[in-house]
Amino acid sequence: MIHLQQLSKIFRTKKDEITAVDNVDLSIREGEIFGIIGYSGAGKSTLIRLLNMLERPTIGEVIVAGKEMSTLRGKPLREARQNIGMVFQHFNLLWSRTVFENISFPLEIARVPKAERTKRVNELMELVGLSERANAYPSELSGGQKQRVGIARALANDPKVLLCDEATSALDPKTTDSILDLLVDINQKFGLTIVLITHEMYVIRKICHRVAVMEDGKIVEQGDVLDVFRQPKKQITKEFVKQMAEQEETLDTVVPLLKDHPSGPIVKLMFLGEGAEEPVITHLIRQCGVSVNILQGKISRTKDGSYGTLFVQLQGNTSHIEQALAFLRENNVEAEVLTDV
């Protein structure tokens, strides 16, 4: 659906050059929710604006729904942009227009007949849960309601791609969840490809299928969200995972808990997908004849499944412990013996 090839954007001033996007190659599949995460200044906002030519690339290609966007001008570009909706951080609503009129605005520009416009706007208001606020003005709406208007407006022309530029960063946690749930619903109902940028790993974890991590204009890591959460490779990715308090507890935090349990190896267990929700420890105790001292751990959920890390101490004779480790690995649980205490 979206292909970026050797894409760069350089901003030039009289005294300096700033490379906001640096030689990015990226493919986003049709129908997926793809997240781009990075700190302020990483280049993610510029990257998403390159997708609909709000910024034009210095070099490289931007192909959306089979069209090379940077070659388009005038009417062909306007027509191509109708396939790309955009939701903004600060809503960008027209304050002198009602909810109905804000959603109708892109249809007016596209010269859609009035009866058809009215039908479409009513459908969209129903979709985002604002049918009863049709005549309200933006000043009368909550932040979440304003963003719902923004989403409905972005969907007015029935786009194939929806771009979300920090769409939840101005919202409280509860409202953020409701907006993310709405985006998932839209994705599932219409098969819409959604690209969102954020600095919040929670957003990525909750709704994205895949993620790209940006730093200094470059994509430094990308992959399925489960894989990135489970085994972040770059330091910046590890920092994002840590900020979400989803980081794996370290051995240093576990060892002090062993004062009352002085014998047996410490084993780090890593679960992924359905295995994170199976009663593996119960089966382990019953079948292998070991005692399991659970020290620390956490299971978290992502869009496509669960992942978790558990630190345990296995207690029993050597043969039973070896049998237990083999059992874990046979059941798709990674088991790493960290130390004998």
Instruction: Indicate the residue among 178, 208, 243 that finishes a domain.
Output: 243
My answer on whether 225 and 258 are in the same domain is no
In eight-state DSSP terms, residue 338 is: E
Residue 332, pLDDT score: 73
Instruction: Indicate the residue among 202, 221, 243 that finishes a domain.
Output: 243
- DSSP-derived 3-state class of residue 312: strand
Q: Spell 300-324 as b/e; 16+ CB within 10 A means b.
A: eebbebbbbbbbbbbebeeeebebb
Residue 281, pLDDT score: 79
Give pLDDT tens digits for 212-247.
Answer: 999 999 999 999 988 887 778 888 888 887 766 444
My answer on whether 186 and 258 are in the same domain is no
Residue 212, pLDDT score: 95
Residue 124, token pair as written in the block: 């969209």
- Phi and psi at 40, nearest 5°, equal -55, 135
Q: Which of 91-105, 176-190, 224-238 has the lowest mean pLDDT?
A: 224-238
Q: Answer whether residue 112 shows pLDDT above 80.
A: yes
* Residue of 113 and 232 predicted with greater confidence: 113
My answer on whether 211 and 68 are in the same domain is yes
In eight-state DSSP terms, residue 12 is: E
* Residue of 220 and 260 predicted with greater confidence: 220
Q: Which of 174, 176, 163, 157 is nearest to 108 (CA)?
A: 157
My answer on whether 216 and 94 are in the same domain is yes
Residue 310, pLDDT score: 77
Q: Read off the pLDDT of each residue in 133-154 and give the average, rounded to a whole number.
A: 94
Read off the CATH number of the domain in which 25 is found: 3.40.50.300
Provide the number of structural domains found in the chain: 2
My answer on whether 18 and 100 are in the same domain is yes
Residue 279, pLDDT score: 73
Give pLDDT tens digits for 267-301.
Answer: 877 766 555 556 777 888 888 888 888 777 766 66
4-8, 37-41, 70-74 — which one is most confidently predicted on average?
4-8
SS3 content of the chain, % helix, strand, coil (to 5): 40, 30, 30
Range of the domain at 66: 2-243
My answer on whether 259 and 232 are in the same domain is no
Q: Read off the pLDDT of each residue in 3-27 and give the average, rounded to a whole number.
A: 92
In 153-304 the beta strands, taken as DSSP E runs, fall at 161-165, 193-198, 210-215, 218-224, 265-272, 291-302
My answer on whether 238 and 257 are in the same domain is no
My answer on whether 217 and 255 are in the same domain is no
pLDDT bracket for residue 341 (50, 70, 90) = very low
Residue 119, token pair as written in the block: 């039908």
Residue 334, pLDDT score: 75
My answer on whether 312 and 193 are in the same domain is no
pTM of the model: 0.74
Instruction: Indicate the residue among 188, 222, 243 that finishes a domain.
Output: 243
Q: Which of 218, 168, 193, 274 is nearest to 47 (CA)?
A: 218
Residue 262, pLDDT score: 58
Residue 248, pLDDT score: 44
Q: Answer whether residue 302 shows pLDDT above 90.
A: no
Read off the CATH number of the domain in which 262 is found: 3.30.70.260
My answer on whether 180 and 321 are in the same domain is no
120-134, 164-178, 239-253, 323-337 — which one is most confidently predicted on average?
120-134
My answer on whether 301 and 238 are in the same domain is no
In the predicted model, what is the mean pLDDT of the chain?
Answer: 85
My answer on whether 309 and 227 are in the same domain is no
